[in-house]
Amino acid sequence: MRVQLLQICHARSGDKGDTGNVGLIARKPEYYPVIKKYVTAEAVKKHFAGVCLGPVDRFELPNLLALNFLLHHSLGGGGTVSLMNDAQGKTLSSAMLRMEIDVAEPLSLSARAYV
């Protein structure tokens, strides 16, 4: 089934210079293995094509049901150098939640998926 990350995750993002960080958190423990399997660094790099101009690093935090992504060269130079409206990458989190993944395993989505 095709799932948009908005249905199964929440997220927060921020900046360190020209690098954006996106913390992606599974809404339920059973969703964590799904995002761990499908939301790879490569998939995220593809999703952010044209936005993230450098590599993507991924780190796992199973204790928080979370993945942390570093999106290098995504903020137009960062800080006061950047001409971007979102120079601090605050909305990279919701951009991440647009991503869709094709999940092979059965997945129960709550009736009110986006609570």
Smaller CB distance to another protein: residue 10 or 36?
A: 10
- In whole angstroms, the minimum distance from the beta carbon of 90 to another protein comes to 8
Instruction: Determine how many CB atoms are found less than 10 A away from the CB of residue 111.
Output: 4
Does an H or E element contain 71, and which? strand 66-71
Cα separation, 41 vs 105, in Å, equals 20
- CA distances to 70, 80, 99, 112 from 9, rounded to whole Å, are 17, 31, 11, 13
Q: Which of these segments, 18-26, 28-36, 37-45, 101-109, binds another protein (CB under 8 A)?
A: 18-26
The answer to whether the CB of 69 falls within 8 A of the CB of 21 is: yes
Name residues contacting another protein, limited to 73-112 (CB under 8 A): 76, 78-81, 83-86, 90-91, 93-95, 97-98
Interface residue list for another protein (CB under 8 A): 10-17, 21, 23, 25, 27, 47-51, 57, 59-66, 68, 70, 76, 78-81, 83-86, 90-91, 93-95, 97-98, 115
